[in-house]
């Protein structure tokens, strides 16, 4: 009976942590305002177990289930996406995290990407990079790039140049040019251009990019 009680308590704690808001590990003092917002003047690490990401920053201010702001931040999520950025402004009810750069991005498929700004949608595991977007591996540049971690997809939109692992280069020379990369097979990503992309997939990515600008 005692063992069952311990196991039950452990399960209850696991569920509580999974459903909890932010879990903070401050590097120094923290202050709590009358409205319930918390400020970590010396920064710290914030974890959101529900959405599966963490932010390590030099300054953090947050309020559970409402907002989070951070400067000089490193964002990591459980799908392998990481972003180093100047500032983060996250409105939770809108599932929108505005990330100001210049910033550096990487995931399990793309390395060494830089951009001027980004917008992340933690609930959907989607990220949009905008402004001077360039990546080292695979080598590409684009007006805008959207990533969907749940589906292992990257979508380049506008003027772009993408060089695949076999050395072949694809280019788009208009504001509505599109290229889709499916990384399901990491050793041989599937590349589709323009009309070869599903109309629904393309429309959803274009909408995501437009709402991120």
Q: Domains in the chain, start-ordered, CATH in brackets?
A: 79-212 (2.60.450.10)
**The pLDDT value given to residue 1:** 52
**The pLDDT value given to residue 35:** 96
Give mean pLDDT in consecutive 10-residue pieces for the chain, a chain of 213 residues.
44 37 95 97 96 97 96 95 97 97 95 97 96 96 97 98 94 98 94 97 98 96
**The pLDDT value given to residue 166:** 86
| Residue pair 115/101 in contact by the 8 Å Cβ criterion | yes
| Residues 27, 50: Cα–Cα separation, whole Å | 23
**The pLDDT value given to residue 13:** 33
DSSP string for the chain: -HHHHHHHHHHHHHHHHHH--EEEEESS-EEE-TTS-EEETT-EEEEETTTTEEEEEEEEEEETTTEEEEEEEEEEETTS-EEEEEEEEEETTTTEEEEEEEEEEE-SS-BSEEEEEEEEETTTTEEEEEEEEEETBTEEEEEEEEEETTTTEEEEEEEEEEE-TTS-EEEE-STT-EEEEE-SSTTS-EEEEGGGS-HHHHHHHHHHHHHH-
**The pLDDT value given to residue 6:** 39
**The pLDDT value given to residue 165:** 83
């Amino acid at each position: 009976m005692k063992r069952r009680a311990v196991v039950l308590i452990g399960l209850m704690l696991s569920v509580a942590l999974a459903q909890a808001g932010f879990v903070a590990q401050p590097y120094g003092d923290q202050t709590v305002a009358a409205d319930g917002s918390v400020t970590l003047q010396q920064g710290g690490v914030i974890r959101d177990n529900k959405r599966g990401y963490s932010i390590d920053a030099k300054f953090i201010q947050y309020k559970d289930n409402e907002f989070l702001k951070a400067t000089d931040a490193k964002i990591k999520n459980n799908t392998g996406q990481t972003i180093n950025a100047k500032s983060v402004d996250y409105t939770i009810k809108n599932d929108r995290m505005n990330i100001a750069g210049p910033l550096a991005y990487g995931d399990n498929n793309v390395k060494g990407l830089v951009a001027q700004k980004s917008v992340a949608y933690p609930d959907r595991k989607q990220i949009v990079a905008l402004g001077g977007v360039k990546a080292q591996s695979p080598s590409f540049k684009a007006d805008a790039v959207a990533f969907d971690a749940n589906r292992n997809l990257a979508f380049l939109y506008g003027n772009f140049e993408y060089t695949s692992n076999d050395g072949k280069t694809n280019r788009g020379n208009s504001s509505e040019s599109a290229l889709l990369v499916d990384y399901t097979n990491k050793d041989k990503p599937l590349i589709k251009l323009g009309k070869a992309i599903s109309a629904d997939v393309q429309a959803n990515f274009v909408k995501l990019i437009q709402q991120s600008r």
